Structure 1
Amino acid sequence: MTKKHNILIVDDNAKNIQLAANVLKSTDLYNIFFSTSGEKAIEQLKLRRYSLILLDINMPGLNGYETASIIKNDSNTANIPIIFLSANANKDSIRKGFEHGAEDYITKPFDELELIHRVKTHVELFNAKEQLLQEVNETRTLLEQYKIAVDAAASVSKADLSGDITYVNDKFCALTKYPREELIGKNHRIFRSPDVSNEIYKEMWETITNKKTWNGLVKNIAKDGSNYYFESTIIPIVNYNNEIVEYISIRTDITKEMELQNDIVATQEEVLQTLGELGEWRSKETGDHVNRVSLFSELLARAHGCDEENVALLKMASPMHDIGKVIIPDAILLKPGKLSDEEFELMKNHTTFGWEIFNKSKHQLLQAAALISYQHHEKWNGTGYPRGISGEDIHVFGRITAIADVFDALCHDRIYKKAWSVEDTLDFIKSQSGIAFEPELVDLLIENIDEILKIKQKYNK
């Protein structure tokens, strides 16, 4: 059975009360109560909870405005919506009603349908607000209990509105290797690792100051200089007025798991590097080519604006750009002179072979390797191979590896040519801007040529 909401009608005219009561009773949604004066209405409000007050303005004793002011100034009744019912429909009367706390204004004689819908709207809004406030209070009560429970099981810290530490538990001290007395009053910035982007901390702060929970993986530095990793949940704690009073951070230490993962990633990178060197070895080229291409690609990807995850992915996968050459016959792969048209068509298949080697894998790294192998001979203007795609239809990994590969290949001896000078290489690459290469990448290569040449010198074998 649907709960009926209590409505109080206040009017010194009994006929007006009866008329409004009859209309609202017809909906079978409300319990109707009434008072014939402002003074009696104030007493009625002490007897039960009301979801709405219909209030006349012109009454002897306390008039409607005065009665509304008393209701709105009492914390027990301030949230109850008030609708003024009055024959005074002029602009000043309406403004004065709102100034005294009314939520709405209906002129007499009122339209029955209008009264029903206005009342229904305000009752629903009031009860929704009341329910929300109740849930907030219940949440705060539960949160206090959760804090006790979590404190016993996880690394916990609290901070004030500036991020300064106000509380740490024993597990937090063990994780950070700081004694409690050195932490209280310090800012959480003392743990920051230079390996973590400032953008992460900016996004974290914006999230929690907007009263939202932040979740993420963080790398920090302990007092002894060691690194530790944890999954963090930072919750802004709000009071009854929905104002943030503090932040609580709950951490799960995942240092061992991250160290294992880092070992796995390093192993994957080494395996792909070795495979890339194997492909170059078949071409009688030094394995340092794939290492240089990997480092050139990393530098250009970061300059191009790729996020750090994709920068790392490209760095690890780019050594696979020519892996398909392991399937190309030696007679073509090792030919010292210019390839015939037929031989060149067969050589171009190394891009497709590389794609087929890795594309069946669901692993993100091997998918990237497949894509790079497939697209690193595509050209910006669409005249490349194997598919003749152009512009940004070529994945950024393919576009970056292409220019890194050509730069390195031209600067070093190959079985079919002698090394070009850096100047001649750059002149050629500039001539291919917008043709073979993305113009922005050509500009970035030139802008970062000093760093590129440092890599070239370091791995120049």
Structure 2
Amino acid sequence: MMMEMRVIVIDDAEINVMLLCRLLGKLDQCCAVSFTEPERALQWCAENVPDLVLVDFMMPRMNGVEFISAFRKIPSCVDIPILMITANDETAVRYDALEAGANDFLIKPVDKVEFLARSKNMLALRKNQRLLENRAAWLDSEVQKATAEIKAREQETVLRLSKAADSRDPETGAHILRMANYSKLIGANMGLSESQQQILLDAAPMHDIGKVGIPDHILLKPGKLSPEEFTIMKTHATLGYQILAGSQSEIVQTGAQIALSHHEKYDGSGYPQGLVGNAIPLFARIVAVADVFDALTSERPYKSAWPLEKAVEFLREGSGQHFDPVCVDAFLLDWDKVLEIRERYKDDKNELGGLGSF
């Protein structure tokens, strides 16, 4: 594999720089970059990564050891090989250079054969290092691809599982798409991170998964439920949690939390646990707003859709009682996007489409 190797040469004597660069020209795929001022060399290294550094010890203003210390502080240059060239054979200088980060030494006057051999060996080590770095980057890319594929399959499974519950419910598939995107929008307006918003988008469709365990004569009843029937209907929150709890998937774990708590009310009058205020999990508080708004504004065989203004009024009136006021405000903060989601995921489209992103 052909790979150009960049070597920087630092020496305050122009003649020494020229001689070293000429010698480096004898090495294959070697490109020499020279400096007579170590400060300029450091500036170059801050923007470029060399493959080998040849630095003289005795230089004005900044000697070789000082240069090496500064060079090693550049994050991308921590492992770059350094060959220090010095006329000083004192062990103290060598110890200081090794402590600063030098890898090898050459004593002046430089022997050409030794110089080329040492440079060639150090460049070979650097080349192997670069190959390993490239391999690691490739492996990381492959892992990311595989993870993305797993995530996509997980999202599809979650969506189809949510659709299975919806198939027994008079709600439509577009409902779960709208309420999931409404939930993500609320999360975004509340300042949640991109990863939290994505988890919310993926997990929100599972909110009513427990309805698979509700008898048809109750689930599909067009009229008002009796107190006994409503008691059974309320069990869908606990059933949903039981179906989803214990999963190794973060998305499904979040879905379990939402399924259990999205019917809790901010004032404590909800079910199944009667949680109050911030004791209700945040994602469940968010989904409660998104779910109710979409249910109110959607037409069903047994009811007409509410006008948007009436649904907004309902949310505002329920703020602090049914709903978390912060979640209500976040939902209404970007009304244009609410309308955009509503238009994109109409009831007659996207029955099995992706959850999208806003």
Q: What TM-score, normalized by structure 1, do the two folds share?
A: 0.48
Residue 305 of structure 1 deviates from its aligned partner by 1.6
One-letter code aligned to 1:460: K
One-letter code aligned to 2:224: K
Aligned equivalent of 1:453? 339
Are 1:390 and 2:276 matched, yes or no? Answer: yes
Q: CA RMSD in A?
A: 3.1
Residue 330 of structure 1 deviates from its aligned partner by 0.6
Residue 262 of structure 1 deviates from its aligned partner by 0.5
Distance 2:261 2:201 in 1: 16
Q: Does the CA contact (< 8 Å) of 1:321 and 1:354 recur in 2?
A: yes
Larger strand fraction of residues:
1
Residue deviations 1:245-300 (CA, integer Å, cap 9, x gap): xxx99672111111111111111111111111221121132101111111111111
- Structure having greater relative contact order (Cα 8 Å, sep ≥ 6): 2
Larger helix fraction of residues:
2
Residue 362 of structure 1 deviates from its aligned partner by 2.9
Aligned residue runs from structure 1 range 208-357, under 5 A? 252-253=136-137, 254-357=140-243
Decide whether aligned partners of structure 1 residues 458 and 161 sit closer, same or farther in structure 2, where only a CA change above 3 A counts. same
Aligned equivalent of 2:48? 165
From 298, 312, 323, give the equivalent of 1:412. 298
Q: Unmatched 5+ residue regions in structure 2?
A: 1-41, 53-72, 83-95, 102-128, 348-358
Aligned residue runs from structure 1 range 98-109, under 5 A? none
Residue 359 of structure 1 deviates from its aligned partner by 0.6
Aligned equivalent of 1:139? none
Residue deviations 1:387-410 (CA, integer Å, cap 9, x gap): 011111111111111111111111
Distance 2:189 2:213 in 1: 34
Q: Does the CA contact (< 8 Å) of 2:169 and 2:220 recur in 1?
A: yes
Aligned equivalent of 2:322? 436
Are 1:379 and 2:262 matched, yes or no? Answer: no
Q: Does the CA contact (< 8 Å) of 1:273 and 1:291 recur in 2?
A: no
Residue 379 of structure 1 deviates from its aligned partner by 1.0
SS in 2 for 1:331: helix
SS in 2 for 1:282: coil
Give the % identical residues.
37
One-letter code aligned to 1:164: E
**Larger Rg, first or second structure (1 or 2):** 1
Equivalenced residues, count: 240
One-letter code aligned to 1:165: N
Q: Does the CA contact (< 8 Å) of 1:291 and 1:319 recur in 2?
A: yes
Q: What TM-score, normalized by structure 2, do the two folds share?
A: 0.61
Distance 1:421 1:243 in 2: 73
One-letter code aligned to 1:167: P
SS in 1 for 2:50: strand
SS in 1 for 2:239: helix
One-letter code aligned to 1:287: G
Aligned equivalent of 1:201? none
Q: Does the CA contact (< 8 Å) of 1:293 and 1:405 recur in 2?
A: yes
Q: Does the CA contact (< 8 Å) of 2:296 and 2:305 recur in 1?
A: yes
Residue 165 of structure 1 deviates from its aligned partner by 2.3
Residue deviations 1:173-228 (CA, integer Å, cap 9, x gap): xxxxxxxxxxxxxxxxxxxxxxxxxxxxxxxxxxxxxx798xxxxxxxxxxxxxxx
SS in 1 for 2:167: helix
Aligned equivalent of 2:354? none
Distance 1:442 1:450 in 2: 15
Distance 2:312 2:74 in 1: 50
Residue deviations 1:82-131 (CA, integer Å, cap 9, x gap): xxxxxxxxxxxxxxxxxxxxxxxxxxxxxxxxxxxxxxxxxxxxxxxxxx
Aligned equivalent of 2:39? none
Q: Unmatched 5+ residue regions in structure 1?
A: 1-158, 170-210, 214-233
Q: Extract structure 1 runs of 4+ deviating beyond 4 A.
A: 159-163, 234-244, 248-251
